[in-house]
Every structure is written in structure tokens, then in C-alpha cells.
Amino acid sequence: MEKLLLTVDEAGQVLNTGPRFVRRLIAERRIEFVRVGRHVRIAEPVLLGFIAQGTVQVMGPAGERRP
């Protein structure tokens, strides 16, 4: 399986944010990243996992979580 490494700008596009937010995630070590020389890259599966981790489940009646 090929892992795609995304630039900060590309990661921002996937998250529908600007690169500044992605750089903050990197600076705060809230997302795993790869250094390639002076460049910073984020593996696509890592970014998708970050999105999944932040996903909030829908609540059912009386506050019960749906499966």
C-alpha cells in the first residue's frame, strides 16, 4: 500500500482550513508528521485518522448514542 505524503497546504485543503491551522497542529504535536529535510509532510492515513478521532457520534433519543 502506497502512503501519500501531503504538504501543509494540501492537508489544509483536506481539512477545509488554511495552512496556519495545520502548522499549529504540528507545533502543538497534536498530529503525527514526517520531516523530509526542511520540509514537513503529513501521511494521508494519519490525517484521515485525525479526522475520524474528532468525529462526534449522533445522539439518539434521551441522549443514547446510536451504533
Q: What stretches of the chain adopt beta strand conformation (E)?
A: 5-6, 34-36, 39-43
Task: Report how many domains make up the chain.
Answer: 1
Q: Is residue 1 very low, low, confident or very high in pLDDT (cuts 50, 70, 90)?
A: very low
**Cα end-to-end span (Å), the chain:** 30
Range of the domain at 15: 5-54
Whether 16 is covered by a domain: the verdict is yes
Q: Is 26 part of any domain?
A: yes
List, for residues 19-48, the tens digit of each pLDDT value. Answer: 999 999 999 999 999 999 999 999 999 999
pTM as predicted: 0.79
